[in-house]
Amino acid sequence: MTYLSLPLWRVAMAGCLVLVAMALSRFARLGLERELGVGAIRAAAQLLAIGYALRLLLANDRPVAVCAVLMLMWSVAAYTSTSRIRVGPPRAELFPCSFAAIGVGAGAALLPVLAFVLVPNSWFDARYIIPIGGMMLSSAMNVVAQVFERLFASAATDEATLEQALALGASGKQALAPYVRSALRGALIPTINGLVTVGLVSLPGMMTGQIVSGAAPEQAVRYQIVIMYQLVAVAAVSGAVAAWFARRLLFTNETQIRTWQRRTRDVT
């Protein structure tokens, strides 16, 4: 089967859709025109770059190059997940925790699937590991950012309540437990919503991409089922690991609450 080849000028035409959003933003005085414009250009540049990088990776079977691309994606995910946190530890302290939580979550979802479900000829086959790995890293990034943001913000606003629990003899884990439960529920709910609405409301990008590019729909949906299950594992594992790190960062060795200055906003 073949697919419709898309010249760049037609892709640029699709960019008019962003202009519609920018016009609406200006009309409603949302002040988001610049963000929308920069976001659209960044998205195009990043995707074009990864497109060419994948082309090179697929043409040359180089495990080192595949690992390097994965490592770059992983690092950017970790960096991004720490960038929206307004109250919390300094980024230098948070980044390694984020990196580890994303890695453990994405690894827990990726490695068993590569070993027992997809079973590609080579573990470093860029055709599988880069797109699927990217989806896992991206999902883990969002979950980790959400868990960190929620826990550090709750600790800052509810510091007095947390301290009361500690004063009554609670361990850091016990004092933070209600907040961790709420943060993990918050992180898992979008994934659960995705599970129950997939095929009814949403047709996920990977599946539609496969169908558009000529794959058999029944094969495309099988891939999608596997991806959905992986995303559940990513959310649960990376969320739990992020919560573990947050607890270690929030309390001193004497189980006292650490406090931080509110960060000035920085955007990645």
Partner 1 sequence: MIRDGRRLVDAASVTLEAACITTLSGPSGCGKSTLLRAIATLAPLSSGELLLEGRRACDVGFEAYRRRVAYVPQTPRMFEGSVADNVRIGPAFCEVSLADADVHDLLSRVGLEPALAAREARTLSGGEQLRVALARALANRPQVLLIDEPTASLDPAAAIVVLDALVALAKQGTALLAVTHVEAHAHRLGGSVFRMKAGILGGRPLPS
What letter represents residue 250's amino acid? L
Check: CB of residue 237 under 8 Å from CB of residue 108: yes
Among 171, 193, 202, 213, binds partner 1 (CB under 8 A): 171
Q: Any contact of residue 167 with partner 1 (CB under 8 A)?
A: yes
Among 166, 207, 231, 235, binds partner 1 (CB under 8 A): 166
The residue written with tokens 């959003």 in the block is 21
Which backbone phi and psi does 133 adopt, to 5 degrees? Answer: -60, -40
Per-residue interface string for the shown chain with partner 1, residues 173-192, x marking contact by CB under 8 A: -x---x--------------
Inter-CA distances, 146 with 23, 172, 182, 251, Å:
30, 20, 11, 19
Q: With respect to partner 1, which residue has the nearer C-beta, 42 or 248?
A: 248
d(CA 201, CA 184): 24
Q: Any contact of residue 46 with partner 1 (CB under 8 A)?
A: no
Shortest distance (Å) from residue 121 CB to partner 1: 53
Check: CB of residue 107 under 8 Å from CB of residue 170: no
Q: Tell me, letter by letter, the H, E, C secondary structure of 184-197.
A: HHHHHHHHHHHHHH
Among 44, 50, 118, 165, binds partner 1 (CB under 8 A): 165
Check: CB of residue 238 under 8 Å from CB of residue 81: no
Shortest distance (Å) from residue 260 CB to partner 1: 13
Check: CB of residue 241 under 8 Å from CB of residue 104: yes
Query: Near partner 1 by CB under 8 A, which window of 83-91, 122-130, 168-176, 203-211?
Result: 168-176
Among 116, 123, 81, smallest CA distance to 238 is for 81
Query: Which residues between 229 and 268 bind partner 1 (CB under 8 A)?
Result: 252, 254-256
Q: Any contact of residue 193 with partner 1 (CB under 8 A)?
A: no
Query: Near partner 1 by CB under 8 A, which window of 52-60, 154-162, 230-238, 240-248?
Result: 154-162
Shortest distance (Å) from residue 158 CB to partner 1: 8
Instruction: Return residues touching partner 1 (CB under 8 A).
Output: 158, 160-161, 163-171, 174, 178, 252, 254-256
